[in-house]
Chains A and B, each alone.
Chain A
């Protein structure tokens, strides 16, 4: 199915779910950037940008749109919140569409290396997965962690995905043994430490609190939203920047805005393009101390029945790579009590942290009440 059809389905389902007509949508926002190097950037084929929906005659009432190029999907949510508050629109559609080409993709095929790549490509080291592997290897050594500990986190995500009909791995369990035996991609990162490349789209509708009260479903309220703004020194591999330094200011901003803290969260939806990012966010957001996430993230603690359920929908590792949109959708479902078999108890507030955290990303806190 072409990406454009996924996008239309997601959009129509989001409108039907909250009980509005497609023509009621008057605001559009997305983060449209393709995830893979070498993307053709064909609208409707491998990206879905604002023009895709503006070209649909049902969107004749659109008065506002935004398509930020930095800050992942959280930036689009933030822009939409501002537009709704300022009265630029009444119902904003937010979506994130992802296309994955068949077969191997992203191979560095050039025989030359230009710009900053002249200091990485000759060494065969141009991929973010290798840079993440550097960070994770260092984490393992500095804090005395092991892949056995990571198995608990990855298997937990899979268990949650097994309760999520939209997950790529909805029907396929994963055992700790299977995780530990999986082929290496860039050691110490194995296949199951990487998110699932999928072709998919998720969409949601944002509106004002007043309007939300009259819609079909109970709303999720946006209590805080922020962007990662930490200055970054030039480096051959920016992902090696300190994860606490990168993530902590965003977390502090969210907790201040929401008037809530880590202990108030009923669940945490943490970006997991690669599994170690979950450790980094647990530490940067203050759920545990630096260097302790590997010991913190046990099944008893981060499982659906635990004190801090993490990636309750399976995360990008098991639902599929939507660069944070899956996390936001899940937070909304949890606080509105609509997460079905994976619903956590007393879901008054759920946070989302989106990004590596060293890459420009963002975060938000959703609450059950306004």
Chain B
């Protein structure tokens, strides 16, 4: 047994990139938030789909979005839900609505980051940042309150 102080282990489940999601993760790895969009009716879809759930069009494309969003809601998770994250309980999960389209949600979290709880209000402005999480090159889009307040 090691007598050293143990550090919390963060083992996020790593996305298994597939045909539909490849461009999303490639974009994130390049610091770009891209979302699948229907070529016929221009509706955004997330998670990506093989056909448009609005108009039925099969041709979908990825387009860059602004990265601007509104905080839809958030929760502090105390329960053991993901095995690889038990060490970092409690942690904050949030969901944001992209400004491009109502109910276009992306998730985010504050695992291993400072939590500006006082800035968390439903509807507050959020902005994307990118967080590398694996040696395999996966980069997670994350959302932080915007504008970022810096200490002077």
Q: Mark A103-122, 1 if CB is under 8 A from B, else 0.
A: 01011111111111111111
Q: Mark A124-147, 1 if CB is under 8 A from B, else 0.
A: 111101100111011001100000
Query: Cβ of A40: which chain B residues have Cβ within 8 Å of it?
Result: none
Determine whether the beta carbon of A240 is less than 8 Å from that of B72. Answer: yes
Determine whether the beta carbon of B81 is less than 8 Å from that of A122. Answer: no
Determine whether the beta carbon of A235 is less than 8 Å from that of B75. Answer: no
Contact of B107 among A119, A133, A186 (CB under 8 A): A119
Contact of B72 among A111, A127, A134, A187 (CB under 8 A): A134
Determine whether the beta carbon of A184 is less than 8 Å from that of B78. Answer: yes
Query: Cβ of B21: which chain A residues have Cβ within 8 Å of it?
Result: 118-119
Determine whether the beta carbon of B95 is less than 8 Å from that of A240. Answer: yes
Does chain B have a CB within 8 A of A234? yes
Determine whether the beta carbon of A118 is less than 8 Å from that of B73. Answer: no
Q: Mark A57-86, 1 if CB is under 8 A from B, else 0.
A: 000000000000000000000000000000
Contact of B47 among A104, A107, A109, A236 (CB under 8 A): A236
A241–B74 CA distance with the chains assembled, in angstroms: 15
State whether A187 and B15 are in contact (beta carbons under 8 Å apart), knowing that A123-B93, A234-B49, A240-B95 are contacts in the complex: no
How many whole Å from A12's CB to the nearest CB in chain B?
38
Contact count band on B: 35 or more
Contact count band on A: 35 or more
Determine whether the beta carbon of B73 is less than 8 Å from that of A134. Answer: yes
| Chain A residue with the shortest CB-CB distance to B107 | A123
Determine whether the beta carbon of B105 is less than 8 Å from that of A237. Answer: yes
A89–B13 CA distance with the chains assembled, in angstroms: 50
Determine whether the beta carbon of B75 is less than 8 Å from that of A236. Answer: no
Does chain A have a CB within 8 A of B109? yes
Query: Cβ of A188: which chain B residues have Cβ within 8 Å of it?
Result: 75
Give residues of chain B (1-54) contacting chain A, Cβ–Cβ below 8 Å. 11-18, 21, 45-47, 49, 53
Residue ranges of A at the interface with B (Cβ–Cβ < 8 Å) = 104, 106-127, 129-130, 133-135, 137-138, 141-142, 183-189, 233-237, 240-241
- The 4 closest A-B CB pairs, nearest first, are A118-B15, A133-B75, A187-B76, A134-B73
A–B pairs, 19, beta carbons within 8 Å: A111-B84, A112-B16, A116-B47, A119-B47, A119-B106, A121-B82, A122-B13, A122-B14, A124-B109, A129-B81, A133-B75, A133-B77, A134-B74, A138-B72, A183-B78, A186-B75, A186-B77, A189-B75, A234-B53
